[in-house]
Structure 1
Amino acid sequence: MALPKHASTLERVWHYTYLVICAAIFLFLIAPILVVMPLSFNAEPYFTFTEKMLKLDPTGYSTRWYDMLLTFGMLEPDAPRGLSWWADAWSNAAWISAAKNSIIIGFFSTILATGLGTVAALGLSRPEMPARRVIMAILISPMIVPIIITATGLFFFYSSIGIQNWGIPYLGVVLAHATLGIPFVIITVTATLVGFDHSLTRAAANMGADPITTFRRVQMPLILPGVISGALFAFVTSFDEVVVVLFVGGLDEQTIPRQMWNGIREQISPAILSVATILVLISIALLTTVELLRRRSEKLRGVSPG
């Protein structure tokens, strides 16, 4: 908010002090990102800024670690980069396989979390719903309970039912990540439903629409931005999660965070910084999408942006 012209000297001093404090907090929060990004272009296999990097010498920077994301684990990484080379990378490169696993798990867990979370949010938005607060607290508990406790509980539960013997790939991880993503969907969809005019659904029912048609033609278009926002949060939760994967994931279910964890334990390589940079860019793109959807939701509901 701009400082008014009639502000006193004390108000001006506090205004600029407040801006400096906000800038310092913002810098503190993004400092790890500001460090990781340039280090991912380090030409040397170090996690520190070299003398050439500090002097902005072009020879101190390289994309070798991004290239390693494609070649690590390949059968013939030095072969000419033709169609067969890319086929080898797609089939054997460790980081590409981890990315494929993360996308597959994230996609199905997001679909499951979005469907269940949206249905739950619709039910919790009804004023006649009994024990709404208790049910809400239970449903969002995976967001509050420490992840190590959730992972341990899922591990013993899956072991007792023998889910690894069901023959369905990624099933345990998908269900676990859906459990972690449902609270985000419930919260975002519930926030979208605040101020929702339920007289619209009653009007649709009076005109002969069945519940499914009412939801598809009346409710869904209005809450769609919140549903998509919740789905994006659920996907990011699944894409970045590592603790549950370590507990319930199989040996062949290496996701990107798990691959990064293994790289830190077994062979420290700046390639991890390259992956971190890519994940940061993906997160920024998803958060930008969420913000655009939030503004669209406000326009649909007739709410002026704050």
Structure 2
Amino acid sequence: MQLQPYATIGQKVWHYTFLTIAGAGLLFLILPILIVIPLSFNSTSFLSYPLSGFSFQWYEEVFHSEVWVRAIKNSMFIGSVSAFCATALGTLAAMGLTHADFRGKGAVNALLVSPMIVPIVISALGLYFFFAEIGLNATYIGLILAHTALGAPFVVITVTATLQGFDRNLMRASASLGANPLTTFFKVVLPLILPGVVSGALFAFATSFDEVVVVLFTAGPEQRTLPRQMFDGIKENITPAIMAAATLLIAFALVLLTVLEYLRRRSEKLNTPV
């Protein structure tokens, strides 16, 4: 918000008041991150300021400890597979909702995005009892299915937004040239909506990678993920290794945000008429 040269005194007061409130809110959100990062480099096992020394030993523990490495591998595996499944299902659902008109379309759309609205603890409790009946508790398949359901709404929303500017005449032109629906999708539709699809996939992966409540309810010892390892570490024996893992998650989130911003700008360029 830029202050105009001819602004009145009241507008100037409101402008600087708004900047002060916004800055205070931003500082409130960033301050925990600024506290966590230095603690991950502490040379002792105590979480206190001032730091007694600088060391990478806690990062070495995260990358060399069997427990931490297994948790990272589980998070990467479960996140990747669930993101792939959520992207495939969410993209198909978004295309169906965008290109078809039928009674109850709004209800179907609300049902698809309901995992974003329903409190996660309620979803986790329901999944626990449902998986207990079919034997999917403490299994990788059960956890992947649960995280797929949590990540799919993000794909539906991002792909639906991308499809709003899609020209359906391109699909008709492709069909008139003899292309079947599958060829049309991969050769015409997918390249144009790819930024939205990739953005949704990244959101789905981040959702799975960061999720801990469903893991606590449905996962077993073999499916221990990085967030659950951090959660258990806080309860049992808190060390700077947890801060090191948190710092790695912060760096991972920054990389995702950078990629999403790049995709957003690329999507804007593709949708901007020449």
Q: Which residue of 1 aligns with 2:143?
A: 173
Is 1:11–2:4 an aligned residue pair?
no
Q: By percentage of residues, which structure has more helix?
A: 2
Residue 290 in structure 1 maps to residue 260 in structure 2:
yes
The structure whose RCO (Cα within 8 Å, separation 6+) is larger is 2
User: Which string of whole-angstrom CA distances, capped at 9 and with x for unpartnered residues, describes residues 146-176 of structure 1?
Assistant: 11111111111111112359xxx61111111
User: For residue 183 of structure 2, what is the aligned residue in structure 1?
Assistant: 213
The correspondence of residues 146-295 of structure 1 with structure 2, limited to 5 A, is 146-163=119-136, 170-295=140-265
Aligned pairs for 1:118-133 (under 5 A) are 118-133=91-106
C-alpha displacement of 1:3: 2.4
In the aligned structure 2, how far is the partner of 1:279 from the partner of 1:173?
A: 20
**Paired residues, number:** 274
Structure 2 residues not aligned, in runs of 5+? none
1:42 and 2:42 correspond:
yes
Change in 2 beyond 3 A, CA 1:189/1:283? same
C-alpha distance in 2 between matches for 1:108 and 1:11: 52
Instruction: Please list the CA deviations of residues 260-306 of structure 1 after superposition, one character each: whole Å capped at 9, or x if unmatched.
Output: 111112211121011001001100110111111011111111179xx
Asked if the contact 1:42–1:49 (Cα under 8 Å) also holds between the matched residues in 2, the reply is no
Deviations 1:234-255 (A, max 9, x none): 0001101111111111211111
Amino acid at match of 1:202: R
Give per-residue Cα distances to partners, 1:180-222, cap 9 Å, x unaligned: 0000110111111122221221222222221111111211111
**For 1:47 and 1:190, how far apart are their aligned partners in 2?**
45
Moved more, 116-125 or 196-205: 196-205
Instruction: Spell out structure 1 runs of 4+ moving beyond 4 A.
Output: none
Q: Structure 1 residue 127: deviation in Å? A: 4.7
* Equivalent residue number for residue 82 of structure 1: none
C-alpha contact 1:69 1:271 (8 A) present in aligned 2: yes
Q: Unaligned stretches of 5+ in structure 1?
A: 54-58, 73-92
The whole-number CA distance in structure 2 between the counterparts of 1:278 and 1:192 is 31
* Distance in 1, Cα, partners of 2:55 & 2:73: 26
Q: Does structure 2 conserve the Cα–Cα contact (< 8 Å) formed by 1:109 and 1:178? A: yes
Q: Distance in 1 between matches of 2:144 and 2:155?
A: 16
| Matching residue of 1:79 | none
Q: TM-score, normalised by structure 1?
A: 0.85
Partner amino acid for 1:172? Answer: G
Residue 71 of structure 2 corresponds to 98
TM-score by length of 2: 0.94
3-state SS of 1:260 partner: helix
User: Which residue pairs with 1:68 in the alignment?
Assistant: 61
Larger radius of gyration: 1
Matched position secondary structure for 1:125: helix
Q: Could you tell me how far apart the structure 2 residues matched to 1:160 and 1:303 are?
A: 54
Letter matched to residue 38 of structure 1: P
- Any conservation in 1 of the 2:40–2:241 contact (CA below 8 Å)? yes
The alpha-carbon distance between structure 1 residues 8 and 96, as it changes in their structure 2 partners (threshold 3 A), is same
CA distance in 2 between counterparts of 1:130 and 1:198 reads 22
The alignment partner of 2:221 has SS state of: coil
Q: Deviations over 1:17-41 (max 9, x none)?
A: 2222211111111111111111111
Inter-partner Cα distance in structure 1 for 2:91 and 2:204: 12
When the two chains are superposed, the root-mean-square deviation of aligned CA atoms in Å is 1.8
